[in-house]
Structure 1
Amino acid sequence: MIAEIYDVARRAYRFRHTSEGRRAVIFMVRAVLHWNTLRELYDFFHETEARKELYERNPFPLEQATRAFFYAGSTVAARIKLIKSHYSFLEERLNQADFVDLGLEHAREIWRSSETDIAWNAHLKLEPGQRKEGLLSVMMAVDHVTLYQIMFWIEQRDGVPTLVIGAMQGPNTENAQDFVREMTKRAHRFRTKNLILYMTQAVARSLGVQRILAVSNVGYYANNHIRRDRKLKTDFGAFWEEAGGWETEDKRFYELPLTLSRKEMDHIPTRKRAVYRRRFAFLDEVDAEIEERVKALMISF
């Protein structure tokens, strides 16, 4: 037991770095206290060759299970269940090489713009720095600068494969507003935060997910989205509702549609119809390319 725990700590943290060394000690104490439960997750990653390969190069799943991650009020048992569910789902559907790579830090491109003056694309990737909110991300970047990303995991909810969005993050640049404004123009006036959600919905459908949930303000695992005056920096709930979502019985989650609704042309002013036609054509191209790219990662049934 001690050897396995120390091995994870050694691979996950830099012992000589003061804050990480402290975090390593905390992890090891928690892991010892919860080992009877954590053993289930440790054994899970040693049941198949693909999981073994992933675990040998990614020490974080065991660490994630010991920390108050993913959503408010999650328990060690709940985190173990969702981690197992996520990797089981992807292992069943993805080619082994893609499954392992997406469990590490290797990106898989799922969309690329046809524009020639910029490199605008989207990809699936595990970002270790985002492991508090998920196990995989849909990331959209322009010239290698991240524009928006959605962190998520996939778990079984009432026997239904469900993609759960842990958080959404916008650009962290000095000119963030100008950056977003420029890319919104290029997306035919379709807001880029709506576009990253649209891409995530496309990924979910392509993978065979049947339901999408999103963590609410109440359900967010930390309070860093709330300012000192208790006002929200980011109102997750308002955006989920604007995107067609609704609050579930568990106030920590919203449910979102699998497909974004569109305005009927008859309800759009005549002067705006040309813009909407271009926007819808653009979204259809995004949808089709994501489906094609994601299907290429999957096992043929």
Structure 2
Amino acid sequence: MNKPNHPPAGVLGIGIEALLAPVAYVPGADRPAAANLHTGLVEAIRDSMPARLLASLRDRGDWSGPWYRRSVTALKYLARSICMPLQHDRFLSFLDANPLMRTYRQRDPRLLERHMHRYVNAHWGRRQRLQQLQQHYRFALTHLPSGLFELVYVLGHASLGSLTAKDGSLLTLCLRPPIFKGCEGELCLQLCDVNEDPLYSVVFSVSDETPAIVIGCLQGPRGEHAKELVRELTRNLHGMRPKQLMLSLVYAFARHYGIRRLLAISNEAHPLRRSGRPLYSDYDAFWTEQHGELTAEGWFALPPSQIHKSEAEVASHHRSAFRRREALRQQAERLLANALEQPVPPLPELLAQAGPDTGWTPRKRRAETSWVS
């Protein structure tokens, strides 16, 4: 029988105080100490590498098919993770450390394993792919206005403003995250129609260690009427080719952040080249036309600044169209620069402004939060 005023002994006569530091135990206070110990153990387990890996198996909406097929996909993901455990765990920790990245990870769970598949350059290994992925989001979190980051990666769309085409119709510029299971880059800049349906897209990522922009995709419309649509769009841009405008916007993005190194993917190194899927654009021809030089790694190194004709180099009867083209291009570049400069209200404030009974939707918010010069 225990003596009065003494705590009961544990198994083999060892009490809870034996598990704690000498100053941590106070008679009669063993329950709070045990609770603290339990909380510390739970937090330690939750922050461990296996726990992060297992947590990354949840809410995988990108794994489709019956249960057995999803199980096989999960096993492949685990096997690939084990092949590079420390690097993948650091990436998971990076995603968990930032609330914006946690939200984006829920919206696009493929982000967790983008580096385990074909990505940007077919010559890259897994570690190079993972390095590029981390560098892009480190850059985006540091340099993009927080509101713009939320619009692009949390809601999936940011409208930058409108351009007036030759026929009087409106064209809009939009920023979007990569397409579902995208493998060509992490930021998609699009030229859209008045309904914000894409007409032309350029997809790129940013490296922040040795500042560079890597372009993985420059794509126009598809289908049997694609050529006709491109011709019509070129006429509405006063004779400027849409892909020329998209490249000018990438240069404007690079200029805004002082980036002078631009790399564009070649046909041979494109990640979809070896998948058997057709490429609808001849990248090599366009990058060569833009004075790009092919490198051994499958990139075209583009000039640090875009080369434009001067008005004096244009025939006199074409100069009025040339001036309209240049004015349109400069307006598009200003729309992008404004979006990268102007602060956007954080997402909770925008939701509060919309109110609970306004029927607020992300598409409605596009018009409300666009940048107009």
TM-score range, shorter chain: 0.7 to 0.9
- Shift of residue 141 of structure 1? 1.3
Return the alpha-carbon distance in structure 1 between the equivalents of residues 56 and 328 of structure 2. 49
Structure 1: give runs of 5+ residues left out of the alignment: none
> What is the aligned counterpart of 2:255 among 196, 202, 205?
205
Does 2:51 match 1:4? no
| Residue 166, structure 1, aligned to residue 213, structure 2 | no
Distance 1:117 1:233, change over 3 A: closer
Answer whether contact 1:120 1:140 (CA < 8 A) is retained.
Answer: yes
Q: Counterpart of 1:128 in structure 2: which amino acid?
A: I
User: Deviation digits for residues 45-89 of structure 1, max 9, x if unmatched?
Assistant: 123333333334432222102112121121121111111100111
SS in 2 for 1:12: coil
Amino acid at match of 1:240: W
Bigger mean CA deviation after superposition, 30-39 or 63-72: 30-39
Instruction: Identify if the C-alpha distance between structure 1 residues 109 and 17 changes in structure 2 by more than 3 Å, giving closer, same or farther.
Output: farther
Residue 73 (structure 1) aligned with residue 123 (structure 2) = yes
CA deviations 1:3-58 (Å, max 9, x no partner) are: 224226x2432343887665454334323433333112111112333333333443
1:133 corresponds to which letter in structure 2?
E
Identity among equivalent positions (%) equals 23
Is 1:121 matched with 2:172? yes
The residue that corresponds to 1:102 in the other structure is 152
Deviates more, 1:76-85 or 1:288-297: 288-297
Partner-residue secondary structure (3-state), 1:110: strand
**Which residue number in structure 1 is paired with residue 243 of structure 2?**
193
**1:143-154 matches, cutoff 5 A:** 143-154=195-206
1:187 Cα deviation (Å)? 0.6
Q: Are the counterparts in 2 of residues 54 and 104 from structure 1 also a CA contact under 8 Å?
A: yes
Larger Rg: 2
Which of 137, 141, 152 is the equivalent residue of 2:192?
141
Cα 1:171–1:53, aligned 2, differ >3 Å: closer, same or farther? same
Counterpart CA distance in 2 for 1:204 and 1:289 is 14
Tell me the equivalent position of 1:245: 292
Query: What's the counterpart of residue 236 of structure 1?
Result: 283
Report deviation, 1:267: 2.1
Residue among 252, 274, 277 paired with 2:323 = 277
Q: Distance in 2 between matches of 1:126 and 1:34?
A: 26
| Kept in 2: contact 1:15–1:24 (CA 8 A) | no
Rounded Cα–Cα distance in structure 1 between residues aligned with 2:221 and 2:251 = 20
Is there any run of 5+ residues in structure 2 with no aligned partner, and where? Answer: 1-49, 346-373
| Alpha-carbon contact 1:119-1:144 (below 8 Å) kept | no
Decide whether aligned partners of structure 1 residues 21 and 125 sit closer, same or farther in structure 2, where only a CA change above 3 A counts: farther
Moved more, 136-145 or 101-110: 101-110
Q: State the one-letter code of the partner of 1:260.
A: Q
* SS of corresponding position for 1:134: coil
RMSD: 2.8
Amino acid at match of 1:199: L
* 2:346 aligned with 1:294: no
| Deviation for aligned residue 1:254 | 1.1
TM-score normalised according to structure 2 size: 0.70
Give aligned pairs, total: 292
SS at match of 2:97: coil
Q: Tell me the secondary structure at the aligned position of residue 140 of structure 1.
A: strand
- Listed one character per residue, the Cα deviations across residues 189-211 of structure 1 (whole Å, up to 9, x for unaligned) are 01111111112222222244332
Confirm or deny that 1:41 pairs with 2:91: yes
Aligned counterparts of 1:235 and 1:96: Cα–Cα separation in 2: 36
**1:52 paired to 2:98:** no
The structural deviation recorded for 1:153 is 0.8
CA offset at residue 253 of structure 1?
A: 0.8
Structure with the higher strand share, 1 or 2? 1
Q: Do the aligned residues in 2 keep the contact of 1:113 with 1:121 (CA within 8 Å)?
A: yes
- Cα distance change, pair 260–235 in 1 and its aligned pair in 2 (3 A): same
Alpha carbons 2:215, 2:264 under 8 Å: kept = yes
In structure 2, the residue matched to 1:214 is 264
Aligned residues of 1:152 and 1:165 also touching (Cα < 8 A): yes
- Out of 43, 64, 67, the position equivalent to 1:14 is 64
Structure 1 residues 17, 254: closer, same or farther in 2, change over 3 A? farther
| Cα pair 1:123 1:139 within 8 Å, conserved | yes
Letter in 1 for 2:287: W
